[in-house]
Amino acid sequence: MDTSTDVLADQVRAKRTAIDNDLELLRVKVAQADPRRVDKEKLAKRAAPVVGPLLAGAAVWMLARRRRAVGSLEQLLVHTMGDLYRAELALLPALERMRAAATNPDLVSAFQQHAQETRGHIDRLERAFRSIGAKPKRGVSESVASVVAEGERLLKRRVDPDVRDAWLIANAQKAEHLEIAGYGTARTFAQTLGYTFAAQLLQETLEEERATDEKLTRLAERFVNPQSIR
Ligand SMILES: [Fe+2]
């Protein structure tokens, strides 16, 4: 349970206590009053401000719990692989745009090669999904959405070409690090669950992501960063 859910749970508990107190007060008043003179509408109006928000809060809390429900390691594997799949689909066009924006020929070639590899990563994930009898969902990757958005902002800015190359590498490496973490986690989940073939596919991609990350580091250290401080 995260902090927001804790806060919501505390609010629900506080409201529940408040309504219990109010209802107890009402019960005392009703017991003291002549039953023929109890105004049911007035009673309902008095309870509504407490009951309404309580029910709404409880509904939101239950919905949040339901949305986040991941009941098994298998579901967590599907969730992790799904996020990787959506990340690769988002990164493929982003890599093409980064390649077009890069100046250093080695960087252009690195982006070109990784875009080609990324097509293979998408294919491997689809095969891994089939091998475990699951399907990926389309949508936005929670892990790389902000990196892709930052890349888009970068490409719209007027920046010195060498500085832009350094920035492109930094942005690409953020995505690589997220992917490396995701693939390493998914590979280990798959191994733990006995999905040997899926684990092997995830490991192959993990190695390519690591190799790309190292290549980008070498490029940054040898060519791009020194040029960008001229
Ligand atoms: Fe990838």
Which of the pair, 31 or 153, is modelled with greater confidence?
153
Q: Please state the pTM of the whole predicted model.
A: 0.67
Cα(117) to ligand 1 centroid in Å equals: 7
Share above pLDDT 90 across residues of the chain, in percent, rounded to a whole number: 57
Cα(42) to ligand 1 centroid in Å equals: 63
Cβ within 8 Å of residue 41, ≥6 positions away: none
Query: pLDDT-derived band of residue 1, with 50, 70 and 90 as boundaries?
Result: very low
207 residue type, one letter: E
Cα(179) to ligand 1 centroid in Å equals: 6
Cα(125) to ligand 1 centroid in Å equals: 10
Annotate 29-96 with DSSP letters as a single string: HHHHS-GGG--HHHHHHHHHHHHHHHHHHHHHHHHHHHHT---SHHHHHHHHHHHHHHHHHHHHHHHH
* pLDDT tens digits, 54-109: 555 555 555 555 445 567 999 999 999 999 999 999 999 999 999 999 999 999 99
pLDDT of 183 reads: 98
CA distance 39 to 41: 6
Question: Closest by alpha carbon to 103, among 61, 163, 156?
Answer: 163
CA distance 121 to 133: 18
140 three-class SS: coil
Report whether pLDDT(121) > 90: yes
DSSP state of 222: I
Flag the least confident range among 43-57, 134-148, 186-200. 43-57
What average pLDDT does the chain have?
A: 83
pLDDT of 15 reads: 72
CA distance 148 to 179: 13
Cα(190) to ligand 1 centroid in Å equals: 18
Cα(227) to ligand 1 centroid in Å equals: 27
Question: Closest by alpha carbon to 92, among 118, 113, 57?
Answer: 118
Cα(84) to ligand 1 centroid in Å equals: 8
